[in-house]
Structure formats: structure tokens, C-alpha cells
Structure 1
Amino acid sequence: MSELQVRKVVAAYDGAPVLHGVSFTVPSGAFAAVLGPSGSGKSTLLRTIAGLHAPLEGAIVVGGRVLTGPRVAMPPERRRIGIVPQDAALFPHLDVRANVAFGLPRAQRGGARPDELLEMVGLADLAHRMPGELSGGQRHRVALARALAPEPDVILLDEPFSALDASLRAEVRAQIRQVLRRARTTAVLVTHDQDEALSMADIVAVLDQGRLVQVGPPEEIYQEPRSRWLAQFVGGAVVLPGAWRGDAVECALGDVPAHLGAGEVAREGDAVELAIRPEHLTLAPVGEGLGGVADASVDAGADAGTVALVRHVAYFGHDAVVTLDLPGLDEPIEARVLGVHHIRPDAEVRVSVTRPGIAFAAR
């Protein structure tokens, strides 16, 4: 196991800046996710760690070895870094075992290591299948076994699940996460998928336009985002304009308990923007607006809350997203409620907030 340090990395393509002083650390054996929208610099960062792109400034250090730094540019083949590419990139003319063995020095390919790895990834019985006979999830597990074969210090995963069907994606993510835990290898996943990052990683580093927005455990990224943008990007947030009232925000939902985001300063009456998670909104019936209430996320006896008009209901089985029009707001908001709710469009409901929100200075 080896710690990975990314130190103030600056990178560019054809003179156009891509990364702006990115720094974070992945402890030995930890799983990190680099999360960001398209064009945020995720792939450039991965290529820089792997030694496939030379940064203008900064350093990459693994296990105390400087791989990239002032007057240091270790070639990719000497970095002890394995890569699982997006498309798995298996050799079509080699069977599964030979693909895994290809990651080893030639003299070791006939040994027990490939069989041990196939056992680890749960594909021992497919050792002599050809890549074309495998499912997408199986191909990615073979690619992971091949990357693990030479016992690298770090594994890099380049959006490896993006081409999989949604029904298969969660299963393969769980399988690969389990394999990496068993191997105790430091790993970095590059992804634009929030669910992927939050569910798999010990540490999430969020990039936007080449800058590190926040790094920390998934719970911290979700529960204490350091910017309005991050609150909306990770998990989605209802953002309401309002005025700061000491320990609450006066807004279209009334006086909502809140705290200021990290580094934010506000005086009484200052204009702020309140971020609330959609699942922290509860709905209660007004008149005959609701029926068949199945759980506590709809409070059938509540008189409190702000009256809103139901515009649309998107039902997902395990929960539903209800689009609401609030008085005084030009844009609708969304509430996420659990269970089976017979909420009809054009009905009136009362909207209440169950947890404090986070306030940011108004833009």
C-alpha cells in the first residue's frame, strides 16, 4: 500500500490551462473518487498521475517516491501504477487468463498469480473464455485483475462503468469495490457520476473548471458543501433567495433554520441563498390534495408549512419527486418523498423543512 500525493498540479493543453494548482492526498489503501462535470479536468489529472501528460508545475508523489516534480519525470512504465480504462481494452485474441497474465513480466505469466487474481474477481471458471464471450461487467473485472497483476502501488479507474447498463452498473461497482478492498490497493476513480463517487469512495475530490472545489469524505461533501454550486452539483439542492436572520433564513418557505456555509459571513438582514436537500422537504395535504399516504415524509395532520401547488409528480417506485410552485418564486422547486404517495397535479400541499439548510452569500 502506498499513499498518493497530488501537490499543486498545474497542467495545460496547447497553452490553454486545464488544472489550476490541484492538491489532495489519498492515504495508503484508500479509495478516492475525482468527481466533476465534463471539462473539469478529471481526465487530465488522471493522465498526469499516470505519467501520460506532463504538468507545468507541481508534483505527484507515491509512497514517498517523486514520480513527477521539478526535474523529475518518471516514465509511465516505471511508476507502478495500474490503469483500468473506460472500455476495459482487453486483447480480443487472448483468453481471459492470458489477458490477466499480460500484466506480468513474461517469466511470471505461467505462474499462479493470474489464477489467484481470477479467483479474487470471481472469474476463475471463465479463465479460458475469450473477451467476446464476456458480459460488460465481466470484461471490467478482467481488466481490473490485469491491472492488479504486477501489484501496483496505485490503481487508476477511468470512468469504467459509464458504458454499462444501469441495472448492471451498481452490481459491478460493488464487485470492484470489494476486490480493491481485499487487495488493499490505493485507488483513484475518475467519474462524473455522483452516485458512483459517493457510494464507492472513502474520499471525494470535486473538480470544477480545473480547480479543486472541495475534498473530504462523501458524507462531508454531501452534508456540508462549501459552495452553492457544489450543493446543486452533488445530490441536487433547492436554492431559495432570502435574508439572514441570525440562525435562520427568511425565505419563501418561511423562517428556515440554517447555518452559514464554510467561510461565509453574514450580518442581520443580508441577502443570502439557502440550500436545502429535496429529501428534507415534507408535504402535508391541504383539503383533498393527497390520499393513500404511506409514510412520515407526508404529514397528514400538519397545519404548518407553506402552501404550494403540485405541478408534476415523477414516481420511481422507492420514492417520488414532486415539482412544486411556491408563491413568490419564478422557478418551481422539487421535493423528494419516500414510499407510495397518490399526489395529484394541481393539488395544494403544505411544504415544511425537516433539517437546517446552509446559507451562502447571494450572488
Structure 2
Amino acid sequence: MNKYAIQLKNISKAYQDGEQNKIVLNNISLDVRPGEFVAIVGPSGSGKSTLLSIAGALLSADKGDIIIGNQTILEKKQWNEFRRRRVGFIFQNHQLLPYLKVYDQLFLNTKKTSEKKTLAEEILNELELIDMKKRYPEGLSGGEKQRVAIARAFMNEPDVILADEPTASLDKIRGRAVIELIAKEVKKRKKAAIMVTHDERILDLVDTIYQLEDGVLIKIMK
């Protein structure tokens, strides 16, 4: 039994930049346990979002492996099913559909079974969204929309949560509230979470911090 929820093993990625081959990720490895909330920081253009996209099977690495639990993701034909069942995404832009009410947003990638309906009510309660479940996105604040995105990410009970700059469009108070909610759900539901961020104001809420720069990932705090 693998003690890690997600492992990135020797991940490398390079892009062609004119006549040069620019190395963005250079033999990077990262292990995250269930219930662990990891933040990756670094300058713009350092490859943070590229690494997150590879972890979530949205982008292929030039070299290396992604292991979720005991499953190594090898072929692109596995990617859609892998993302649907094993990964929950929280993006900078909440990406809610304007024509769906809050409650229905949670069922975009899962069927409305009795178990899932119960889970939806539970998560909406925990994120203080239960009174808003019949609202459309246009009737929500920025922080409320991001909370709906968090709820949706946990609905398929994934092994891993991947968050790409989830506070970028929020002010300090709302941004911190959003990260507090992610941290709470990660601990309660024993999920692994990886967040890339520029927001140093919320780093005290995570368990481990890594710096990504010049293609190298270094742990700077635990």
C-alpha cells in the first residue's frame, strides 16, 4: 500500500524558445501524503502551473512518472478517466457555468445518486453555501463562487486536489477564508492537495512549502 496519495517522479519538461531548448522542469520529484496541503511558490514563468498541469494529466511531461495511490499514469488514453475519478481542480477562475444553479454545479462530473446528493448537502453545509444552493453564479460574490468551485472539486471524492492560484482574484480577507476552507476539507477528507500561489499571506495555512525556480524544486518549510 502506497503511503503517498500522489508522487511525481523525476519530472522534466522543456520548451523550444527560438533556437534554444528552455528547460522548465528539471528532474523534479514530489511526494504528498493524504491530508497534506502543499504550496509551491516561485517567480512568474518558473513553471509552477506547468508542474500542476502535469500532475493533473492536463499536460504531458518529457520524462518522468505520475503515481496516484498505486497507479502509474502512463498513456494519454487514461487521462480523461484519471482526471474524472482521481483529481479535483480549483482554478484561479472559478469556471462555474452561468446557467446552472449552485447545487447543480456540483454534479457536472458525477451522477445524482442518493449517496452523492447526501455528500453535496454535507459539503455545501461545511462551506456555508447551503442557503445559496438555488442561486445562479451571477447572484454570488467572488468568494462565494470560489467556495462553490471548492465544493465541486471535492464532489468526486478524488485522491488529489490541485489548486492553481485560487486567491488571485480575491481580496486578502476572502482569499484567506478560501484557503482556510480548502485546508479544512483536505484534513477532514484525508485528501492530498497541491497549490501553486504567489500569495504569501496564506502560506501559514499549508503544511509544506516548496520553491520552484530555475527548473528546480526545493522544500523551504515543513
| TM-score of the alignment, normalized to the shorter chain, above 0.5 | yes
- Closer, same or farther in 2 for the Cα pair 1:158/1:187, shift >3 Å? same
Among 7, 19, 22, the residue aligned to 1:16:
22
User: Taking every aligned residue pair, what percent have the same amino acid on both sides?
Assistant: 34
Match of 1:163, SS?
A: coil
Q: Is 1:75 aligned to residue 79 of structure 2?
A: yes
Match of 1:112, SS?
A: helix
Amino acid at match of 2:82: R
Moved more, 3-12 or 177-186: 177-186
CA separation in 2, counterparts of 1:112 and 1:217? 37
Q: Note the 1:280-299 alignment, pairs <5 A.
A: none
1:52 matched to which residue of 2? 58
Q: Note the 1:36-185 alignment, pairs <5 A.
A: 36-68=42-74, 72-73=75-76, 74-79=78-83, 80-105=86-111, 111-185=117-191
Q: Is 1:217 aligned to residue 210 of structure 2?
A: no
Amino acid at match of 1:188: I
Match of 2:106, SS?
A: helix
CA separation in 1, counterparts of 2:5 and 2:119? 24
Amino acid at match of 1:168: R
Among 7, 10, 31, the residue aligned to 2:9:
7
Cα RMSD (Å): 2.0
C-alpha contact (below 8 Å) 1:96/1:127 kept by paired residues? yes
Q: Which has the larger radius of gyration?
A: 1
Normalising by structure 1, report the TM-score: 0.55
C-alpha contact (below 8 Å) 1:39/1:209 kept by paired residues? no
C-alpha contact (below 8 Å) 2:211/2:219 kept by paired residues? yes
- Tell me by how many angstroms 1:175 deviates: 2.6
Output one character per residue of 1:71-115: Cα deviation in whole Å (capped at 9) or x when no partner. x44314324111011111011100000001223136569732221
Q: Unaligned stretches of 5+ in structure 2?
A: none
C-alpha contact (below 8 Å) 2:35/2:188 kept by paired residues? no
Bigger share in strand:
1
User: Which fold has the larger relative contact order, with Cα–Cα distance below 8 Å and residues 6 or more apart in sequence?
Assistant: 2
Among 204, 207, 218, the residue aligned to 2:209:
204
C-alpha contact (below 8 Å) 2:165/2:195 kept by paired residues? yes
- Tell me by how many angstroms 1:6 deviates: 1.1
Bigger share in helix:
2
Q: Is 1:26 aligned to residue 32 of structure 2?
A: yes
CA separation in 2, counterparts of 1:106 and 1:178? 25
2:41 matched to which residue of 1? 35
- Tell me by how many angstroms 1:216 deviates: 5.1
Normalising by structure 2, report the TM-score: 0.88
CA separation in 2, counterparts of 1:13 and 1:115? 44
- Closer, same or farther in 2 for the Cα pair 1:87/1:109, shift >3 Å? farther
Q: Unaligned stretches of 5+ in structure 1?
A: 219-363
